[in-house]
Structures are given as structure tokens and as C-alpha cells.
Structure 1
């Protein structure tokens, strides 16, 4: 599970204008339409093509728990692609992201400063250029460590260095992450 990648996905999903289909049959029909066939859906979910057809016809109504989770995740990843793209574009160009986190922040700074490592709870609005870097890195398949490094850099710039007005040269280490939440 990717804490930062999933957090960015949840933030974008908050922009959806309609809820995803609830029933297994409706979710299967949506996937069949998106992937243009039952064979592709069966391959994606790891079930037989005939089982997909039964769900589409509402002959089977309640999937196993593991299949229900895979089905919902597959639908959620493909739901409202234009709304998703628009929300990402808006965050990257004009509104930015809000980052809420509780983590340990460590620093490379002069000994005896007040910036020693400790658990902090921060809620900050990241400017659009930082949001664009995070979202672009996620699109390009960046791993958890790369997203964490970009978030640390953004927090260092916005919070600790205050846009270059103080603490010049302060490098932020973002560790022991307890919670991360993004919002558009």
C-alpha cells in the first residue's frame, strides 16, 4: 500500500461528481463497457469470462470479499476520467493541494537550533508548482520514496523556509509518517 500515492488518488477522487456504481452487476457492466469485452474484464479480475457474464446479467449478485475489493478498485481507477484529469490539471495550475500530515521531521541544521527532530502535525496549502511536481511524479510511476521526498521538499519550502524568507539551506527529512492526507 502506497501511503502517498493512495492519498493523492483519494484527493482526486474527492472531485467526482457522481458516486461509483454500488452493485456488483453495475460495476461489471461499467468495466465491460470500459474495457470493451468480458474477456478483458475476466483477465483483469482473475476470474472466468463466464463468471463476468453472470454478473453482467445479474445472475450472481454478491461477489466474494476479495473479488468485491478488486472489482471496486478497478472501477474506482477508471471512474470519471475527464473529471479526474480536470481536477489534477486545476490543482497543478491554479489551486494547489492541501497536505495534512503527522510525521517526524528531522533537519540538517546548526546544532542547538529549535528545529530539532520531533513529531509534528502540519496542515499546509502547497502551491500549484509543488502540486504539479507531486502529481506528475505519480503519473510517471514514482515510488513511495520519491513521492515522500517531493512532499518533504514542498513542506521544507512552504513551512520551514517560508518561501525563502528564513532558514536558508535547511534540508528536511520526512520520516515516521503516521498519517498523510491530501485534498484539492
Structure 2
């Protein structure tokens, strides 16, 4: 399942990492065992046997199946450098904000044939810290991708289409058919 805004937020935080994420299956498995404090918890998390986890830790197994490799990578990235990740979130939410770059269909409530008809646009827009805070807070609270897209659309509506609420008051923006979302801190 692809979550463009949620995944974009995760990738933006990964850009703040100060050390590379473990690459080998053995290093990833050792990291997960250390983080979850045991092989049983890792086995349950990844949906494999405890013995298989032990074999990866010892280096007896080296090449996981593609779906297991992807699960391992996702779980390691999710837990990697939590303090660095938290500092990056804090900085974006209080002082720096973030830059949202997207290619998606944007439209407004308007008469057919006007320039307000929905069309695909490439937009790169800096969003102030308040919008970064809303996005990260919602993501941490378990918001759905639909909710994250709604927050991103509100931020783009305010900053890009309504020019920081200096024009086009009350303009509602529809954000759909997302091709890509890149978020930078």
C-alpha cells in the first residue's frame, strides 16, 4: 500500500540520519533483536519463526526472501535513530517548517470551463512550522493517509493558492490523483 504523504514524511526524517541504516540481513536482525529485547518479539513482528531470527543473527542465513527483506528494512528504518528523528521533527515544527513538492490533480469548486477546473499541477511550496507540526502530530497519532492528504491540501491552499490568506478567501482546494509527494525539511 502506497501512502504518498505519510511515506514522504518518513523519507524527510530519514534525510536527517547521521549514520547509515544497517544494510545486511544479519546487521538488521541484530538491530531489531536489540531494540525489541529478544528474538521472540522480532519473530512475531516479522511473522517468522524464532529459530529463523536466531539463524540470521548468527549469520547462518544471509539472503531473506524479498517480502521478508522489505519487512526487515521497513521495521529497522522505523526505529533507526529515534533521537535524531525527534530533533528533526521538533526543528521543522517550531522554526524551519518544511517544503512540500508534489505532482497531483488540484481543483476548486467553480463553473465548468473556467481555469478553476481540476488539472494536474507541479507545485513546490514551503509550509510554515504550524503546518509541519500538524502533519507530524497527525502522523504520530496514527492518522490515515486520507487525513494527511487533507492537512497537506489545507496547507497548500493557504500558502500557495490563497497566498498566505491574502487573496481568494474561502477558496476550497481538492487534492487528488497524487503522482508523487516529496517532503524536505
Q: Which residue of 2 aligns with 1:25?
A: 26
- For 1:72 and 1:155, the matched residues in 2 are separated by 32
Q: Which residue of 1 aligns with 2:144?
A: 143
Q: Is the 8 A contact 1:4 1:144 kept in 2?
A: yes
TM-score, length basis structure 1: 0.95
Cα distance per residue 1:32-79 (max 9 Å; x no partner): 100000110111111111111111111111111111111111111100
SS at match of 2:164: helix
Q: Which residue of 2 aligns with 1:173?
A: 174
TM-score, length basis structure 2: 0.95
Q: Give structure 2 stretches of 5+ with no counterpart.
A: none
Q: Which residue of 2 aligns with 1:77?
A: 78
Q: How many residues align?
A: 184
Task: For 1:25-174, list aligned pairs within 5 A.
Answer: 25-109=26-110, 114-174=115-175
The runs of at least 4 consecutive aligned structure 1 residues that moved more than 6 Å come to: none
Cα distance per residue 1:81-122 (max 9 Å; x no partner): 000111111111111111011111111257776433221100
- For 2:108 and 2:29, the matched residues in 1 are separated by 49
- For 2:46 and 2:24, the matched residues in 1 are separated by 16
- Note closer, same or farther for the CA distance 1:139–1:182 as it changes in structure 2 (3 Å cut): same
Cα distance per residue 1:148-176 (max 9 Å; x no partner): 11111000000111112111111111111
1:21 Cα deviation from its structure 2 partner: 0.7
Q: Which residue of 1 aligns with 2:15?
A: 14
SS at match of 2:16: coil
